[in-house]
Amino acid sequence: MSHNNENILEIEDLGVSFDGFKAVDGFNFYLARNHIHVIIGPNGAGKTTVLDLICGKTNATSGSIKFHGKEMRGKREYRIVRAGIGRKFQNPSIYENLTVFENLELSHPTGRGVLGCLLFRRTAEILNQCNSVAEQIGLSDRLDTEAGILSHGQKQWLEIGMLLMQNPEVIMLDEPVAGMSVRERTATAELIRRIAKNRSVIVIEHDMEFVREIADRVTVMHLGKILSEGSMDKVSQDPKVIDVYIGH
Ligand code: ADP
Ligand code: MG
């Protein structure tokens, strides 16, 4: 696997043990700029743990995580977020009693209620960003809707929007289409492709049809290790991958 400037994130020999159990072991991962890189694998393969390691929620026991060539391993979660790596968890953490607009607004890194002479300019800037993000997540006509009454899919999109408000260079999504209708899945695939035009996206997903729709590159994990990597066509024809999926 090559190392070059096109890789925004370079992960090498990443590992973590929980009481001697290696949940992730010798994990190498190169995320290209503006790519959608999907991680698949059976339950318990270590996919979510990889995201926990990248975002600093879990400390690695070996390896390195380089973002723009800078070591991220060992940094605190908030620093990793500030550096430009955003992560969406499986359950939405939106404010149900606030509107879509308010949820987006409070996710802006400068926060609200900025005092002094910058107030007007900041507010206009935040307003523009809320509108632009709402467009990207397909909720432009729902800005005044209370988040609590959105559909399951719309809530997931809102949370992606809340991440986008911080304009991260890398977004990580853990099973973004779980529980969604077919129509919502299609819309989510389009949404992910839209947001990947100027950032890189790591997606964990089970739904192979969905993966085929979005993936520029696929990494298959099994028992904490990488089983296969490459294009969707390549990995889906890999006998090792077929074995694992038919075996489950
Ligand atoms: P996946 O997301 O691929 O389904 P996970 O990354 O959630 O898998 O889990 C991989 C393995 O690591 C599982 O066996 C899980 O029980 C274990 N594991 C994950 N996090 C912890 C933790 N904090 N402490 C102990 N074991 C963990
Ligand atoms: Mg998981």
pLDDT in tens, 177-188: 999 999 999 999
Which residue's CA lies nearest to atom 18 of ligand 1?
A: 23
Q: What pLDDT, on a 0 to 100 scale, did the predictor assign at position 108?
A: 86
Mean pLDDT value of segment 179-200: 95
pTM given for the model: 0.92
- Tracing tokens 């839209």 back to the chain, one arrives at 194
Give, for ligand 1, the residue of 14, 16, 17, 18 to mutate: max count of ligand atoms closer than 8 Å to Cβ.
18
- Tracing tokens 């959608």 back to the chain, one arrives at 36
User: Do 80 and 55 touch, CB atoms closer than 8 A?
Assistant: yes
Whether residue 46 has its Cβ less than 6 Å from ligand 1: yes
Sheet with strand 21-32: strands edge to edge: 21-32, 7-18, 62-67, 70-71
Residue ranges of the chain that CATH labels 3.40.50.300:
1-84+172-194+201-248
Domain 1-84+172-194+201-248 belongs in CATH node 3.30.70.100: no
Sheet with strand 225-230: strands edge to edge: 85-88, 170-174, 200-204, 36-40, 217-222, 225-230
Whether residue 45 has its Cβ less than 6 Å from ligand 1: yes
Which atom number of ligand 1 is nearest to the Cα of residue 45?
3
- What spacing in Å lies between the alpha carbon of 223 and ligand 1's midpoint? 10
Between 214 and 90, where is the model more confident?
A: 214
Distance between CA 212 and CA 214 in Å, rounded? 6
What is the distance between the terminal CA atoms of the chain, rounded to a whole angstrom? 29
Whether residue 228 has its Cβ less than 6 Å from ligand 1: no
Residue 90 confidence class, pLDDT cut points 50, 70, 90: low
- Of the listed ligands, the closest to the CA of 41 is 1
Q: What pLDDT, on a 0 to 100 scale, did the predictor assign at position 114?
A: 43
Whether residue 59 has its Cβ less than 6 Å from ligand 1: no
Distance between CA 18 and CA 91 in Å, rounded? 24
Which atom number of ligand 1 is nearest to the Cα of residue 23?
12
- Single out the residue of 5, 19, 21, 36 nearest to residue 219, CA to CA: 36
Q: Which of 91-100, 204-213, 227-236 has the highest mean pLDDT?
A: 227-236
Identity of the residue numbered 219: T
Give the torsion sign (CA, 19, 25, 26, 27): negative
Give, for ligand 1, the residue of 22, 49, 51, 219 to mutate: max count of ligand atoms closer than 8 Å to Cβ.
49
